[in-house]
């Protein structure tokens, strides 16, 4: 195949607009409901509740704001340890620190790339005082929520569900965003449903929803003047942004179907390569397939070293690495990216506790770096680090054509020849 660079960029995951969004934004403009109240907000909250199956949704400026409100609702105070998924974006973690909490990172499992229930159980053995657990559904793939909920219930811990990437995904028939006491979704520009910005706090607790509505509007009291008795935040979603969200929401199922088709084409295209796609529990879950990712088999990895901001590799016949593949895609005007760098590897959180399924993960991480130490099951002790080393996110844009995807598949094959 004679491959030439694309004239128009093939994006990782860009907004897919339909037209109704503009009508609702125009309605907000023409009726002068341009602030943080209006029909678009009300309808977006109603529709999300209907789609997800929760009682209350509170529209906020972003998913991070929703997570912050969830952490505050859970009662996290200065010095409180909070268990958190390790392989995620730092927006999952930062709100814990906003409230003075101390994130304790729980390692990843290979089955779903999400929080390992075995490691979570080990974390409770090490830190039995913990009462809040933040669980992420990475790249739209549901975590093993039945096991995680059972463990948390046994330890009397509140679950905060970060469903920012998984809106529209289901686990055992239930939508993600319904498994925790306080749950969060995102409408960021690259998400499966976008408002260009925005997010929501989801809950079945009426009192919790009312608290978030108050806190997010600067905690204004019900008085004829501006009365404030507790700390507040400017977190409410604009009615204009909500217009975009409202116009997008009817297309959730269509977007999920398009993302799934992309994932399946990659899976078929790579079937003869020493790689696999980001996995999910096919019996119990249906992801929203937000991003299609791949991981290279250890024996097919060429030598690769990553620093804090740079990466080096040595090309080898029949082998490759994420750095080589991503650089190759970029040469052809195709966007990809590394998988999330685990939080315990981030400079800002490098001193925080980290727990693997065999206990304190810090010493084990150092051993893995030094000599590839493995656990009793013969697998790397630091699963998140291993996936980060071998994994990458492929272009998963709804508007990518099958022909464009065929080229991406061919470029990956070319790297591994």
Domain with 273 in it: what CATH number? 3.90.1150.10
219 pLDDT more than 80: yes
Does 264 lie in the same domain as 242?
A: no
User: Of 226, 249, 272, which one is at a domain's C-terminal end?
Assistant: 249
Q: Is the pLDDT of residue 163 over 70?
A: yes
How far is residue 214 from each of residues 46, 97, 144, 312, measured CA to CA in Å?
Answer: 19, 21, 33, 50
Q: Using the CB atoms, write b or e for 138-174: b if 16+ within 10 Å.
A: bbbbbbbbeebbebbeebebbbbbbbbbbbbbbbeee
12 assigned to some structural domain: no
Give me 365's structure tokens: 């991480």
**Quick check: is 3 in a domain?**
no
State yes or no: pLDDT of 370 exceeds 60. Answer: no
Of 13, 4, 9, 29, give the one whose Cα is nearest residue 238. Answer: 29
pTM of the model: 0.95
The chain-wide mean pLDDT, for the chain, equals 95
Whether residues 331 and 399 share a domain: the answer is yes
Percentages helix, strand, coil for the chain (3-state, rounded to 5) are 40, 20, 40
Is 191 catalytic? The answer is yes
Q: Give yes or no: residues 185 and 296 share one domain.
A: no
Which contiguous run of DSSP H or E holds residue 134?
strand 132-136
Specify whether 263 is located in the same domain as 208: no
**Are 207 and 318 contained in the same domain?**
no
The residue among 249, 274, 289 that closes a domain is 249
Domain around 30: 20-249
* Residues paired with 271 in a beta bridge: none
Measured distance CA(22)–CA(240) in Å, rounded: 10
Same domain, 202 and 305: no
* 144 in any annotated domain: yes
Q: Within 216-251, where are the H helices?
A: 239-248
- Tell me the pLDDT tens digit for each residue of 377-398: 667 789 999 999 999 999 999 9
* Category of 278 on φ-ψ map: left (φ > 0), alpha (ψ -120 to 50) or beta: beta
- Are 341 and 229 contained in the same domain? no
Query: Average of pLDDT values for 122-149?
Result: 98
Answer yes or no: is 384 within a domain. Answer: yes
Do 83 and 173 lie in one domain? The reply is yes
Question: Is residue 219, in this structure, part of any structural domain at all?
Answer: yes
Indicate the residue among 229, 249, 269 that finishes a domain. Answer: 249
Task: Flag the least confident range among 108-117, 118-127, 244-253, 376-385.
Answer: 376-385
Task: At 267, list the tokens.
Answer: 């899976």
Total domains in the chain come to 2
Q: Give yes or no for residue 365 having a pLDDT over 70.
A: no
Q: How far apart are CA 388 and CA 295, in angstroms?
A: 9
Tens of pLDDT, residue by residue over 1-10, are 689 999 999 9
Adjacent-strand bridge partners of 338: 392
Do residue 239 and residue 337 come from a single domain?
Answer: no
The answer on 209 and 63 residing in a single domain is: yes
pLDDT tens, residue by residue, 19-46? 999 999 999 999 999 999 999 999 999 9
| Catalytic member of 191, 211, 259, 364 | 191
Instruction: Kindly report the CATH number assigned to the domain that includes residue 236.
Output: 3.40.640.10
Q: Which tens digit of pLDDT belongs to each residue from 293-345?
A: 999 999 999 999 999 999 999 999 999 999 999 999 999 999 999 999 999 99
């Amino acid at each position: 195949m004679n491959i030439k660079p694309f004239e128009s960029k093939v994006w990782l995951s860009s907004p897919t607009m339909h037209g109704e969004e503009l009508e609702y934004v125009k309605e907000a403009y023409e009726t002068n409901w341009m602030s943080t109240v209006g029909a678009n907000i009300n309808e977006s909250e109603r529709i999300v509740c209907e789609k997800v199956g929760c009682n209350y949704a509170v529209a906020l400026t972003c998913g991070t704001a929703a997570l912050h409100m969830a952490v505050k609702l859970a009662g996290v105070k200065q010095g409180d340890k909070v268990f958190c998924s390790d392989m995620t974006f730092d927006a999952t973690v930062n709100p814990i620190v906003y409230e003075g909490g101390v994130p304790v990172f729980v390692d990843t499992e290979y089955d779903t790339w999400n929080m390992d229930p075995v490691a979570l159980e080990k974390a409770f053995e090490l830190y039995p005082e913990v009462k809040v657990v933040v669980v992420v559904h990475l790249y739209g793939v549901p975590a093993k929520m039945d096991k995680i909920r059972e463990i948390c219930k046994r330890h009397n811990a509140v679950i905060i569900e970060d469903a920012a990437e998984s809106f529209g995904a289901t686990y055992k028939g239930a939508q993600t965003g319904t498994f925790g006491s306080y749950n969060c979704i995102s409408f960021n520009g690259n998400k499966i449903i976008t408002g260009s910005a925005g997010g929501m706090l989801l809950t079945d607790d009426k009192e919790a929803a009312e608290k978030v509505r108050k806190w997010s509007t600067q905690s204004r009291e019900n008085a004829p003047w501006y009365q404030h008795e507790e700390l507040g935040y400017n977190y409410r979603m604009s009615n204009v942004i909500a217009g975009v969200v409202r116009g997008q929401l009817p297309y959730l199922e269509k977007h999920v179907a398009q993302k799934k088709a992309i994932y399946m084409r990659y899976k078929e295209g790579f079937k003869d390569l020493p790689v696999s796609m980001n996995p999910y529990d096919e019996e119990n879950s249906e992801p929203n397939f937000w991003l299609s990712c791949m991981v290279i088999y250890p024996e097919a990895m060429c030598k690769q070293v990553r620093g804090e901001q740079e990466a080096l590799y040595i090309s080898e016949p029949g082998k490759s690495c994420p750095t080589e593949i991503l650089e190759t895609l970029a040469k052809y005007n195709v966007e990809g990216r590394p998988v999330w760098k685990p939080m315990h590897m981030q400079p800002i959180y490098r001193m925080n506790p980290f727990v693997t399924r065999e206990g304190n993960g810090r010493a084990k991480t150092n051993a893995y770096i030094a000599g590839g130490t493995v656990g009793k099951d013969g697998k790397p002790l630091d699963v998140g680090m291993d996936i980060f080393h071998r994994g990458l996110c492929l272009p998963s844009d709804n508007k990518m054509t099958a022909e464009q995807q065929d080229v991406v598949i061919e470029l990956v094959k070319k790297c591994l020849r």
